[in-house]
């Protein structure tokens, strides 16, 4: 097992030193390649374990879309040595928790426990990751639950508008597909598909973990090595290369009719930068000004507060391995759909043409800097931050550099980035409602 402590390259202020950094983050590489980032916090008797592995829906076929999500949801339904009930009884008896979630690229997990129960938590984590048996009775119960969730989604104007938006923005790209699939694809998944997906895609390659709490980092690494260090899967494939995204060439619209609904949901926007792009931070600060800060920024002010057209209106920026989306969402009375879209498009046009003021950017920067320590007050917040460092190769000193990175962004950079991604004449506009 190898261990690294990186060194900071610049003087740090006293406030900055309270943030996770090179002096108190230990990075270990286990014997099988699993990466662990650990940080001690002896102010708490608990510990949080978080992580991800490359087994997301990117590996699903169109015919059996939702397979990764199905497998992930079934991991804790029974293993070679524990029944469904025994897994949960063991966790609940010590006040611990463990859960899994599936996404497009990765499957994530998070567990919490007292420090003295960390060996048990890691033992169960290892067991459900490596030795699930997917009992057929439990699989069918889960299938019914998944189909119920999809039936609920089919009645949600917000969810259906978001699906239609993704289909337009990500046409021909894997990101166009919902991770949880469709009713027909969930019904098409056989028990052998679940077993085979797990056998092929679950393994140590690309697996990263963070562990934060009242334990020495070296001791934490030894425990993780004990329970996961011997895991091997020679068949585990590398992540596929994402294809280039074809940009929108004009305004595309799609309406999903859902009779009987008193609200129509609107999702409007285009593709945005990836998390590793230099454009990410200027876009994120710009998005805050556009539709997040205060009463949902300019969008909320114009559409909701001044015009009174929407129940809610805001913008959001999503970013990960590949291109995210930069979008505006609103919920309106069906009679106000066209007026709302016109107002949003007019505000986008003003945003990219006139840019942002130094005062607006300064307020947004102060908000970003001020909320960072709050997001890192809990073990779970720090664990998530450490995973982001590893996932996006940000560097162990990222949160020590964060304030200077944020404050270095200029109004011109925000405007230039907005013009790069938000073309008022090249947008996807999805609506769903009556």
Residues 295 and 427 occupy one common structural domain: yes
Residue 10 lies in a domain: no
Say if residue 179 is in the same domain as residue 222: yes
Query: Per the domain annotation, does 242 fall within a domain?
Result: no
Q: Is 187 left (phi over 0), alpha (psi -120 to 50) or beta?
A: alpha
Q: How far apart are CA 330 and CA 327, in angstroms?
A: 10
**Are 338 and 391 in the same domain?**
yes
Sheet holding 252-257, edge to edge: 252-257, 428-433, 264-271, 325-332, 310-318
Q: How big is the CA angle at 402 (ends 399 and 407), to the nearest 5 degrees?
A: 165
Angle at 51 between CA 152 and CA 393, to 5 degrees: 115
Same-domain status, 102 and 31: yes
CB 5 within 8 A of CB 22: yes
Residue 187 domain flag: yes
pLDDT of residue 18: 84
- List, in order, residues 6 or more apart from 198 with CB less than 8 Å away: 71, 75, 132, 134
Number of domain units in the chain: 2
Three-state SS at 19: coil
Per-residue DSSP letters for 245-308? PPPP-S-EEEEEE-TT-S-EEEEEEEE---TTSTTHHHHHHHHHHHHTHHHHHHHIIIIIIIS-
- Domain end point (choices 213, 228, 243): 228
What contacts 116, CB < 8 A, 6 or more positions away?
A: none
Contact 53, 40 (CB under 8 A): no
Would you say 368 and 95 are in contact if contact means Cβ atoms under 8 Å apart? Answer: no
Q: Is 43 exposed, middle or buried (0-12, 13-18, 19+ CB in 10 A)?
A: exposed
Does a structural domain hold residue 16?
A: no
Distances in Å between the Cα of 394 and the Cα atoms of 21, 146, 387 are: 12, 36, 10
Query: Looking at the structure, do residues 222 and 256 belong to the same domain, yes or no?
Result: no
CA distance 288 to 316: 8
CATH code of the domain in which 311 resides: 3.30.830.10
Q: Are residues 297 and 333 both part of a single domain?
A: yes
DSSP code of residue 190: -
What is the pTM for the complete model shown? 0.92
Residue 210 and residue 260 in one domain: no
24 within 8 A of 40, measured Cβ to Cβ: yes
Q: Please indicate, yes or no, if residue 11 is contained in any of the structural domains.
A: no
Element at 46 (helix H, strand E) = strand 46-53
Q: Judge whether 54 lies within some domain.
A: yes
> Cα angle vertex 276, ends 162, 288, to 5°?
55
Residues 315, 195 share a domain = no
Q: Does residue 363 sit in the same domain as residue 325?
A: yes
Confirm whether 245 is domain-assigned. no
70 closest CA partner among 107, 110, 121:
107
Residue range of the domain that includes 331: 252-433
Under 8 Å between Cβ of 26 and 2: no
Q: Are residues 90 and 126 in the same domain?
A: yes
Q: Look-up: residue for tokens 């949902």? A: 296
- Do 278 and 213 sit in the same domain of this protein? no
Please give the Cα distance from 182 to 187 (Å, whole number). Answer: 9
Chain length of the chain: 434
Whether 56 is covered by a domain: the verdict is: yes
Judged by phi (left if over 0) then psi (alpha if -120 to 50, else beta), residue 103 lies in beta
In the chain, count H helices and then E strands: 15, 12
pLDDT in tens, the chain (434 residues): 655 543 333 333 445 558 999 999 999 999 999 999 999 999 999 999 999 999 999 999 999 999 999 999 999 999 999 999 999 999 999 999 999 999 999 999 999 999 999 999 999 999 999 999 999 999 999 999 999 999 999 999 999 999 999 999 999 999 999 999 999 999 999 999 999 999 999 999 999 999 999 999 999 999 999 999 999 999 999 999 999 999 999 999 999 999 999 999 999 999 999 999 999 999 999 999 999 987 789 999 999 999 999 999 999 999 999 999 999 999 999 999 999 999 999 999 999 999 999 999 999 999 999 999 999 999 999 999 999 999 999 999 999 999 999 999 999 999 999 999 999 999 999 999 98
Cβ atoms of 210 and 38 closer than 8 Å: yes
Are residues 126 and 165 both part of a single domain?
yes
pLDDT value of residue 12: 36
């Amino acid at each position: 097992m190898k261990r690294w402590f990186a060194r900071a390259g610049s003087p740090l202020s006293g406030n900055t030193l309270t943030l996770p950094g090179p002096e108190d983050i230990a990075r270990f590489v286990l014997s099988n390649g699993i990466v662990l980032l650990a940080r001690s916090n002896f102010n708490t008797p608990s510990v949080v374990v978080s992580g991800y592995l490359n087994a997301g829906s990117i590996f699903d076929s169109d015919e059996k879309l939702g397979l990764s999500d199905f497998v992930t949801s079934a991991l804790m339904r029974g293993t070679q040595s524990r029944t469904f009930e025994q897994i949960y009884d063991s966790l609940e008896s010590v006040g611990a928790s463990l859960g899994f979630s599936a996404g497009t690229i990765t499957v994530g997990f998070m567990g919490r426990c007292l420090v003295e129960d960390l060996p048990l938590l890691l033992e169960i984590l290892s067991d459900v990751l490596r030795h699930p048996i997917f009992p057929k009775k439990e699989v069918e119960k889960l299938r019914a639950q998944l189909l119920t969730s999809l039936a609920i989604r089919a009645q949600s104007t917000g969810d259906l508008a978001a699906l239609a938006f993704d289909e337009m923005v990500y046409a021909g790209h894997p990101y166009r597909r919902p991770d949880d699939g469709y009713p027909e694809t969930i019904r098409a998944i056989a028990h052998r598909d679940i077993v085979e997906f797990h056998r092929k895609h679950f393994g140590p390659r690309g697996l990263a973990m963070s562990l934060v709490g009242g334990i020495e980092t070296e001791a934490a690494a030894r425990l993780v090595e004990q329970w996961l260090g011997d895991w091997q899967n020679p068949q585990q494939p590398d992540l596929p290369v994402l294809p280039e995204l074809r940009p929108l060439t004009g305004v595309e619209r799609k309406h999903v009719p859902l009779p009987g609904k008193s609200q129509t949901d609107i999702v409007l926007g285009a593709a945005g930068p990836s998390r590793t792009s230099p454009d990410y931070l200027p876009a994120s600060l710009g998005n805050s000004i556009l539709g997040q800060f205060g009463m949902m920024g300019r969008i909320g002010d114009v559409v909701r507060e001044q015009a009174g057209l929407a129940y809610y209106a805001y913008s959001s920026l999503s970013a990960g391995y590949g291109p995210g989306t930069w979008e505006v969402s609103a919920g309106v009375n069906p009679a106000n759909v066209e007026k709302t879209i016109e107002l949003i498009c007019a505000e986008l046009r003003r945003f990219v043409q006139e840019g942002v003021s130094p005062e607006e950017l300064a307020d947004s920067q102060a908000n970003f800097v001020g909320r960072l320590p709050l997001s890192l007050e809990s073990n779970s917040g720090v664990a998530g931050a450490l995973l982001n460092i590893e996932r996006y190769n940000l560097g162990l000193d990222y949160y020590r550099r964060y304030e200077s990175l944020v404050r270095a962004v200029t109004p011109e950079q925000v405007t230039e980035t907005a013009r790069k991604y938000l073309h008022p004449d090249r947008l996807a506009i999805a609506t769903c409602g009556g």
